[in-house]
Amino acid sequence: MSASFEHKVLKCKQTWKGFDYEGLEKELDELGRHGWQAVGTIAPALGSGHTHEIVIVLTRSRD
């Protein structure tokens, strides 16, 4: 039987102060306690090469 997984996409938007990395770390720690694991990131760029959000892809087993 093959393993079954569920996925989550977490978006972190940039504010006028920049990215809230400390808050993002706390949110990832909390998700990790519930079995979520980050498996990829995406940083979509605007035309000038700057990004305004970070997208984190997470997965966990559906046991």
Determine the pLDDT at residue 48.
78
Write out the residue range of the structural domain in which residue 33 sits: 5-61
**C-alpha pair distances (Å), 53 with each of 1, 12, 14, 24, 36:** 38, 5, 6, 12, 20
Domain count, the chain: 1
Q: Which pLDDT does position 41 carry in this prediction?
A: 93
Which parts of the chain sit beneath pLDDT 70? 1
The pLDDT of residue 55: 94
